[in-house]
Amino acid sequence: MNFKPIVITALAVFSLLNVRAQKKIITVNPSQITAQVQPEMWGVFFEDINMGADGGIYAELIKNRSFEFAAPLMGWTTQGTQLKEGDLLILNRQEKDVNNPRFLRVKSTAVNKGDLSITNEGFKGIGVKKGLSYDFSVFYRQTSPGVKLHAELIDSTGKVLGSGVLNPEGSDNQWKRQSVSFIANETVEKASFNLWFEGTGQIDLDMISLFPGDTWKHRKGGLRGDMVQMLADMRPGFIRFPGGCIVEGRDLSTRYQWKKTIGPVEDRKLIINRWNTEFKHRPAPDYYQTFGLGFYEYFQLSEDIGAEPLPILNCGMACQFNTAELVPLDELEPYIQDALDLIEFANGNITTPFGKIRADMGHPAPFHLKMMGIGNENWGPQYLERLALFTKALKSRYPEIKLVNSSGTDPNGERFDLLNTSLRKMKADIIDEHYYRSPEWFLKNANRYDNYDKNGSKVFAGEYAAQSVGIALPTNRNAWQCGMAEAAFMTGLERNADVVHMASYAPLFAQIDGWQWTPDMIWVDNLKVYGTPNYYVQKLYSLNKGTDVVSILEDGKLIEGQDSIYASAVIERKTNELIVKVINTSSSPVTRDIKVDGKKLASKGKLTLMQNANLNAVNSFSNAINLSPKEQTLAVKNNGVALSLQPYSFNIVRIPMK
Ligand code: AHR
């Protein structure tokens, strides 16, 4: 008998709550500026991990082109009816050429093409595109002409996909270079490369090279156009380079040394890549750093896409997870000199020694380097001692260059506390924080910087990524749960742009058959590239960076997870627009009215939305834009907008102001 009234009461309470929930208002005041956004705020982190450089963005298609890998013929096989013992020899001219000592000597008695050849498997096969031209080149020397070279791409059945012929000239036994281009007649993801010999004679070969014709800006020997385009599309504020642990090396002998990465590519001494053996479950014995993408190309790339270069240098410490070798303090001078010389290489007048090298390489104008990192993930008093010496030398010569200092590997704990406290006492310009953490950590830490000292050292969130399973585990996925958590966390970076001056997701690239570390922002195979949900989150922040952070509150409070909602707002002075980012991290739809005070809005704006009801959703080569931004028009009413925030959604509202 009492049943009916109870139901009515329950319903009444429910609808009252519902009305109250629907009435929640987010108040934005574009006239209340709380911080300025640095122009370089959202950048990218590049490291040669996961075949990011060799086999990746560096477009060379021939693996072990100069026979310098540990096994000189790694990546190569030999074949032919006329192949006899001693016909193919590896010679070493170490006394004359320490950087590129080995070359191949071919003694040919091949009557026909088909009698003797060498075949290269490429990095993970060779991607070939129908209609595209391929540039084959080789260094050779001979005492008399006689051996013709047939370069060809073939598929797995041996079908020729394109070929070119060289008739090496000269008999002076001096090294020369010849090249030929040819067009491919088919698209094949995993082709290989044959070099056939025809004729009788002896010829020495080195730097056997093949590049696709669609490199970035069509530069010969350049970078993979589609991979660079993905970066250019983000309009990143900076490029951190070359890492990452690769800066440190497993030991000091394999640390990154920028001076060995400039000048002619044939003189750049390759080294084994430190990620070659790092993970036992993913050995990569054929992973080397040829430095075809060296420091000149890095500066040029940064300039091309309008990003500030942010080089990170070794501070006299090898990776502390590996050998942890230290350079004695009284022997640190060459390391410091490397840092000073890099500034000269980037910015120096062409009359200076390193400025001249830059000019000779084709760039007389300076690259306008403004900042530099000393050390990657280094920690402990040993780091502080070495950093102090670097800082003194660099600041006395180049006070205008901002220095980025390491806070170690983790965003908390004893190591972090020691460095964070000490670096702030030392008045560090910028402190580099890294966090590879769970999606939950990112949600909980959206307020991390709210109480940081606004007048002290600035923060560079230099490496971060939500890990779906656990740090660097091979089962991690670039799932929407991670991208969404990063988007929510980034509201805190944006809100505190007076503390956080720069941020970059890490790592950047991964080759589908050649990765060591996951998750990664952009995945590639030999022909294609796709951005993960994390890529689109980064891109959206960068494209909607704005110039000034403005006040955004709900019930007078910052929006940092109440009802699973996160929000931040900026204005863009150039276009006079308001940009509001709102993330709904709950499984239910949520409504919010955005009310704008202090400025008049135009009658309509735009909503950019990333959403998926499945937190495990990912992008893939076959569904590359499964999770990607979609745009729609938004009507402005009463100087605000009514937002229906879909479950698990990242929403960007952009409205012109009057
Ligand atoms: O991004 C991958 C690695 O993670 C970096 O090389 C290192 O700095 C960090 O530990």
Please tell me whether residues 157 and 201 are part of one structural domain. Answer: yes
29 within a domain of the structure (yes/no): no
Which residue's alpha carbon is at the smallest distance from atom 7 of ligand 1?
244
Span 199-206, average pLDDT: 97
Please tell me whether residues 239 and 388 are part of one structural domain. Answer: yes
Residue 312 Cβ contacting ligand 1 at under 6 Å: no
- The tens digit of pLDDT for each residue in 27-57 reads 999 999 999 999 999 999 999 999 999 999 9
Residue 376 Cβ contacting ligand 1 at under 6 Å: yes
Give distance in angstroms: CA of 245 to centre of ligand 1.
Answer: 5
Distance (Å, rounded) from C-alpha 546 to C-alpha 580? 10
Residue 531 Cβ contacting ligand 1 at under 6 Å: no
Beta strands 522-524 and 509-511, pairing class = parallel
479 within a domain of the structure (yes/no): no
Give distance in angstroms: CA of 506 to centre of ligand 1.
Answer: 7
Confidence label for 279 from pLDDT (cuts 50, 70 and 90)? confident
Per the DSSP assignment, residues forming a β-bridge with 129 are none
Please tell me whether residues 307 and 414 are part of one structural domain. Answer: yes
Q: Which tokens belong to 604?
A: 């309509």
529 within a domain of the structure (yes/no): no
The pLDDT assigned to 636 comes to 98
Residue 244 Cβ contacting ligand 1 at under 6 Å: yes
409 within a domain of the structure (yes/no): yes
Residue 507 Cβ contacting ligand 1 at under 6 Å: yes
Give distance in angstroms: CA of 77 to centre of ligand 1.
Answer: 34
Please tell me whether residues 365 and 429 are part of one structural domain. Answer: yes
- The tens digit of pLDDT for each residue in 520-530 reads 999 999 999 99
Distance (Å, rounded) from C-alpha 207 to C-alpha 137? 8
Which residue's alpha carbon is at the smallest distance from atom 9 of ligand 1?
244
Which is the closest atom of ligand 1 to the Cα of 243? 6
Look at residue 324 and tell me whether its pLDDT is greater than 50. Answer: yes
Please tell me whether residues 102 and 175 are part of one structural domain. Answer: yes
Among 397, 413, 437, the domain boundary falls at 437
Specify the CATH number for the domain of residue 265: 3.20.20.80
Please tell me whether residues 90 and 185 are part of one structural domain. Answer: yes
Number of domains in the chain: 2
Residue 439 Cβ contacting ligand 1 at under 6 Å: no
- The tens digit of pLDDT for each residue in 566-599 reads 999 999 999 999 999 999 999 999 999 999 999 9
- The tens digit of pLDDT for each residue in 239-266 reads 999 999 999 999 999 999 999 999 999 9
Which is the closest atom of ligand 1 to the Cα of 507? 1
The pLDDT assigned to 538 comes to 99
432 within a domain of the structure (yes/no): yes
In testing the pocket of ligand 1, which one of 517, 522, 534 has its CB within 8 Å of the most ligand atoms? 517
- The tens digit of pLDDT for each residue in 335-368 reads 999 999 999 999 999 999 999 999 999 999 999 9
Among 194, 212, 230, the domain boundary falls at 212
Give distance in angstroms: CA of 521 to centre of ligand 1.
Answer: 13
Residue 243 Cβ contacting ligand 1 at under 6 Å: yes
Please tell me whether residues 268 and 313 are part of one structural domain. Answer: yes
How far lies 458's CA from each of 388, 429, 455, in Å? 18, 6, 8
Give distance in angstroms: CA of 315 to centre of ligand 1.
Answer: 16
Distance (Å, rounded) from C-alpha 398 to C-alpha 406? 20
Distance (Å, rounded) from C-alpha 492 to C-alpha 566? 9
- In the 8-state DSSP scheme, what is residue 165? E
Among 187, 212, 237, the domain boundary falls at 212
Q: Which residues have a catalytic role annotated?
A: 377
The pLDDT assigned to 11 comes to 40
Contact 275, 49 (CB under 8 A): yes
Which is the closest atom of ligand 1 to the Cα of 245? 6
Cα of 626 vs its chain's centroid, Å = 22
Distance (Å, rounded) from C-alpha 570 to C-alpha 550? 5
Measuring CA to CA, which residue among 286, 308, 440 is closest to residue 368? 308
- The tens digit of pLDDT for each residue in 387-409 reads 999 999 999 999 999 999 999 99
- In the 8-state DSSP scheme, what is residue 516? S
Q: Where are the beta strands (DSSP E) in 453-603?
A: 458-466, 500-505, 509-511, 522-524, 529-531, 548-554, 565-572, 577-584, 590-596
Residue 47 Cβ contacting ligand 1 at under 6 Å: yes
Look at residue 14 and tell me whether its pLDDT is greater than 60. Answer: no
Which residue's alpha carbon is at the smallest distance from atom 2 of ligand 1?
507
Please tell me whether residues 139 and 189 are part of one structural domain. Answer: yes
Confidence label for 2 from pLDDT (cuts 50, 70 and 90)? very low
In testing the pocket of ligand 1, which one of 274, 463, 521 has its CB within 8 Å of the most ligand atoms? 463
The pLDDT assigned to 83 comes to 84
In testing the pocket of ligand 1, which one of 434, 504, 520 has its CB within 8 Å of the most ligand atoms? 434
126 within a domain of the structure (yes/no): yes
Domain that holds residue 269: 44-59+222-278+287-437
Which is the closest atom of ligand 1 to the Cα of 377? 8
Please tell me whether residues 171 and 202 are part of one structural domain. Answer: yes
The pLDDT assigned to 278 comes to 87
Distance (Å, rounded) from C-alpha 613 to C-alpha 620? 17
316: left (phi over 0), alpha (psi -120 to 50) or beta: left
Specify the CATH number for the domain of residue 188: 2.60.120.260
Measuring CA to CA, which residue among 656, 557, 392, 457 is closest to residue 26? 557
Distance (Å, rounded) from C-alpha 514 to C-alpha 123? 9
Span 93-105, average pLDDT: 96
- The tens digit of pLDDT for each residue in 102-140 reads 999 999 998 888 899 999 999 999 999 999 999 999 999
Which is the closest atom of ligand 1 to the Cα of 45? 1
Confidence label for 20 from pLDDT (cuts 50, 70 and 90)? very low
Measuring CA to CA, which residue among 576, 581, 595 is closest to residue 641? 595
68 within a domain of the structure (yes/no): no
Please tell me whether residues 157 and 263 are part of one structural domain. Answer: no
Q: Which tokens belong to 553?
A: 């509150």
Span 366-391, average pLDDT: 98
Residue 575 burial (CB count, 10 A): 12
Q: Which tokens belong to 438?
A: 């769970």
The pLDDT assigned to 13 comes to 42
Q: What are phi and psi of 584, to 5 degrees?
A: -105, 110
In testing the pocket of ligand 1, which one of 45, 46, 48, 49 has its CB within 8 Å of the most ligand atoms? 49
Share the mean pLDDT of the chain: 95
Q: Helix (H, G, I), strand (E, B), or coil: what is residue 193?
A: strand
Residue holding tokens 């069509």? Answer: 218
Please tell me whether residues 244 and 365 are part of one structural domain. Answer: yes
Which residue's alpha carbon is at the smallest distance from atom 3 of ligand 1?
244
Residue 325 burial (CB count, 10 A): 17
Measuring CA to CA, which residue among 314, 280, 311 is closest to residue 294? 311
Please tell me whether residues 254 and 400 are part of one structural domain. Answer: yes
The pLDDT assigned to 475 comes to 96
Look at residue 232 and tell me whether its pLDDT is greater than 80. Answer: yes
Measuring CA to CA, which residue among 494, 508, 486, 648 is closest to residue 579? 494
Span 442-464, average pLDDT: 98
531 within a domain of the structure (yes/no): no
The pLDDT assigned to 113 comes to 87
Per the DSSP assignment, residues forming a β-bridge with 25 are 593
360 Cβ contact list (under 8 Å, min separation 6):
none
Q: Helix (H, G, I), strand (E, B), or coil: what is residue 301?
A: helix
* Region of poorest pLDDT, from 12-16, 459-463, 478-482: 12-16
The pLDDT assigned to 82 comes to 76
Residue 252 Cβ contacting ligand 1 at under 6 Å: no
Residue 517 Cβ contacting ligand 1 at under 6 Å: yes
Span 206-210, average pLDDT: 98
